[in-house]
Amino acid sequence: MKILIILIGTIISAILYRCGGMSKDDTAKPEWIPKWARQRLVRRWGCPLVSLLVLFLIGIQPAWWVYPVVFLLAWLMTTTYWDEVFGYDNFYAHGFMIGLAYLPYMVAVTWWILILRALVLGLFMGIWCRIFENDVVEEMGRGAAIVATLILLLFVSGCASTLNAKYDSEGRLIGLNASGQQESSVKQDADGTVEYKMNNKQEPLIKDVISINALKEN
């Protein structure tokens, strides 16, 4: 399901990104995109909003303040090709800086995967635009990559960020709490049975009840 959500978001983002670069001329392609949609704000607002929605739907849900911050940063980064810095349209920088706009998500996923995504996004956009010279292919490819690269976050978003264990006076495990993308708890009965409960923001890696014959005492 998550892959399907990313795929649908990728297609929508590609279209919205192209909308922002189209002229209102009748010959501009794809011709089926209405003229009212051929606005820069469609790209600048649309692509960030779609990416944030995709992240929410696949279960990466940080604190509420991350959404407006990332939206504003991504909006700003989609407005420039950094030609004022490099003297030409630098799509490597364009993609990399769009990727960096999502760094506030480090409160929900590990920071290095966000940096990796930014690097992948920058390399893809730069190489893509060297291979293709057609405006439609170029722009739709860049727009698609903004959402498609979010798949990288799925590889690390299921990990708990904090794990705390509690023991009784006899050294038996009486509580285990994990916070982060997988909030969980563990309770041990006298017979050595451990019940593992998980309240996930992501799909659970472990669920139901885990039984063990014995648990070593400290």
147-205: per-residue pLDDT in tens? 999 999 998 765 434 445 566 666 566 665 554 444 455 555 555 555 555 554 444 43
Q: Give the per-residue pLDDT at 177.
A: 56
CB 203 within 8 A of CB 180: no
Peptide bond into 48 cis (omega under 30): no
Whether residue 213 has pLDDT greater than 50? no
Identify the H or E element spanning 10. Answer: helix 2-19
Paired tokens of 13: 């983002």
Q: Pick 197 or 92 by higher pLDDT.
A: 92
pLDDT score, position 155: 85
Proportion of the chain above pLDDT 90, given as a percent: 58
pLDDT band at 209 (very low <50, low <70, confident <90, very high): very low
Among 17-31, 121-135, 155-169, 201-215, the range of highest mean pLDDT: 121-135
Lowest mean pLDDT among 1-15, 65-79, 146-160, 195-209: 195-209
The rounded distance, in Å, linking the Cα atoms of 208 and 194 is 10
Question: Which residue did the predictor score with more confidence, 37 or 97?
Answer: 97
A 10 A CB-CB count for 42 gives 20
What pLDDT, on a 0 to 100 scale, did the predictor assign at position 161?
Answer: 42
Report, as an integer, the average pLDDT of 11-26. Answer: 89
Task: Round to whole Å and give the CA distance between 71 and 61.
Answer: 14
Lowest-confidence pick of 19-33, 41-55, 95-109: 19-33
Query: Radius of gyration (Cα) for the chain, nearest Å?
Result: 23
Q: Is 90 exposed, middle or buried (0-12, 13-18, 19+ CB in 10 A)?
A: buried
Instruction: Kindly give, in sequence order, each residue whose CB lies less than 8 Å from that of residue 163, ignoring residues fewer than 6 positions away.
Output: 176, 177, 178
Whether 54 shows a pLDDT value over 70: the answer reads yes
Mean pLDDT, the chain, integer: 81
- Residue 179 backbone dihedrals phi, psi, to 5 degrees: -120, 155
Question: Which residue did the predictor score with more confidence, 193 or 47?
Answer: 47
